[in-house]
Amino acid sequence: MTEAPHNTKSESVPFFPDHVRTELRVVIGVTAVAILVGVLGLITPVGLGQPADPLDTPAHIKPEWYFLALYQLLKFIDKTFGATLPVIAIGVLALLPFLDRNPDKSHQAKRVRFIAVSIGIVVLIVMTIWGELS
């Protein structure tokens, strides 16, 4: 076992003069940098440019990949209908299990559903790729 030294007072640094002096230097330095940035901002202001026009979208703007199909859909149909159609479609798909109480076990109905879902997925993939390339 090691014993603690008896004379720990000589190794400590007093808080009041040393720590306060160090913190005062930091505060003065940060304040000087803030004043320097403010003065430089007054001398050479950065312009804001043209005001934003919500009716004019620049040609280079594209959404993220998961919105490309919806973005492409807006190019073909009215914007109001194009914005509400996906919400209505998701609402109908969410309510469909509650509305369809008749269990249909025929192979013809399963085949029709499979073909409809397959066509929907292919259209979604094609619209996404088309939205990226356009």
Closest to 67 (Cα-Cα) out of 46, 83, 52, 53: 83
Which residues are within 8 A (CB) of 126 and not within 5 positions of it... i.e. 6 or more apart?
Answer: none
Q: What's the pTM?
A: 0.52
- State the Cα–Cα distance between residues 92 and 121, nearest whole angstrom: 17
Alpha helix (H) ranges present in the chain?
20-43, 68-74, 79-99, 107-133
pLDDT band at 2 (very low <50, low <70, confident <90, very high): low
- State the Cα–Cα distance between residues 88 and 86, nearest whole angstrom: 5
Longest dimension (CA), the chain: 93
Taking only the tens place, the pLDDT of each residue in 25-78 is 999 999 999 999 999 999 998 888 888 888 887 777 888 999 999 888 888 888
SS (H, E, C) 64-75: CHHHHHHHHHHC
Identify the DSSP state of 17: I
Taking only the tens place, the pLDDT of each residue in 89-124 is 999 989 988 887 777 778 898 898 899 999 999 999
